[in-house]
Structure 1
């Protein structure tokens, strides 16, 4: 006896499952590198600040560079992703080179300040021309390079104000560091670099992921196709 449905057939899968967005925790962990990534990226700066207080500028530079290299090598030997470690090493190396050449400890933080200013201005500029940078970054990091959000006015608006938020926060935190730099408050500048580093970034990332996922879920479903009325006499 046969039935209209083959019980041996595999269960139907929702095509949307193949395009499932990573969970909030997964996206946060990937961008921040987990707790280990947070700690490892902060250690070289902590070493520089402490060593500079205890000893002098050049020993502090050598110590911070040495720690950054050690972290990168350790990750390689453990076959762990080195993206965050290399980013940290690159940033530390540029600041260390400038500080070594000038002999002024505060210039260690100058590249980060200049980068922060440029990044904040680019964020605000992209929102002004309606090409919000946060939206494009989202496309690459969380949506497999797809940019369908450009056809959705709600998502364009959402990414625009999120981009403005990122730009304002970025310029505000770099403004604090710039003020300390100009005031020659080197130790306070090092502490501000740590405090205003990952915490605001993590908060902005959390807000962005939560808002975008909420807006995406609230998108209205497509209208059902209208029923076709039978022709008279049909």
Structure 2
């Protein structure tokens, strides 16, 4: 059990390395402040917090990509909310992002090029031909279907809350269905994916690369 927990921990670090709260804290601050003060104050404070987090990363010589991404996202979302004079519009970019993920996952399933396989390929650099094998591809196709259902559920909740104009609920929904659910989803995807690969009895990445004949040991780690 300890070995499996360590394995999952290492896999998560590989996939979400550098992920911080930089993209989560400013939206929460925006929602809290907007409930007590004006939209302008909420926007300014959210941008200031995102900028502060970026400065902290810079002084600590930590990766800036998430801090900068969070700053740009907060500035863009704040601009939409400010110029439309509607605080709920702050979450429009996140709704659009969810819609894009739903569409991308669906298209990848229909085309037979599952998003889970493409994501794994970009993250790990494994041979793309391995993912398309008949004794490997079904595992990634099924995981992508799970992703699609999750993305669709999140989009539906976001749209419902957006139409209600409930800023606080939008903030907490985006937060809880963001990093926490992503981590949980990655763990479940990994466990299911490894189990499914074993049942498919296909070769591991190394066995495929080296052209080893059957019987194969199969993929025992990494998905």
TM-score class normalised by the smaller sequence:
0.7 to 0.9
Deviations 1:99-147 (A, max 9, x none): 11111100000110011012111101111110111101101102x2521
* TM-score of the aligned structures, taking structure 1 as reference length: 0.77
Task: Name the Cα RMSD after superposition.
Answer: 2.2
Q: What pairs with 1:72-221 in structure 2 (closer than 5 Å)?
A: 72-142=54-124, 144-216=125-197, 219=201
Partner of 1:14: none
Query: What are the ranges of 5 or more consecutive residues in structure 2 without an aligned counterpart?
Result: 1-5, 204-212, 216-223
CA displacement at 1:65 relative to structure 2: 0.9
Q: Residue in 2 aligned with 1:63?
A: 45
Structure with higher Rg: it is 1
Kept in 2, the 8 Å contact 1:44–1:65? The answer is yes
Aligned partners of 1:199 and 1:187: how far apart in 2? Answer: 18
Q: C-alpha separation between the residues in 2 aligned to 1:47 and 1:220?
A: 48
- Say if 2:223 is the partner of 1:223: no
Residue 192 of structure 1 deviates from its aligned partner by 1.4
CA deviation string 1:13-55 (max 9, x = no partner) = xxxxxxxxx9432231243346xx4433311111111111121
Say which SS state the counterpart of residue 154 (structure 1) adopts.
coil
> C-alpha distance in 1, partners of 2:187/2:63?
22
More helix by share: 2
Contact 1:95 1:107 in 2 (8 A): yes
Q: 2:35 aligns with which of 53, 57, 74?
A: 53
What are structure 1's unaligned runs of at least 5 residues?
Answer: 1-21, 225-234
- Give the Cα–Cα distance (whole angstroms) in 1 for the partners of residues 130 and 40 of structure 2: 49
1:25 lines up with 2:25 in the alignment = no
**Cα pair 2:143 2:193 within 8 Å, conserved:** no
Indicate if the aligned counterparts of 2:105 and 2:147 stay in contact, CA closer than 8 A: yes
User: Is the CA contact 1:132–1:159 (under 8 Å) kept in the aligned structure 2?
Assistant: yes
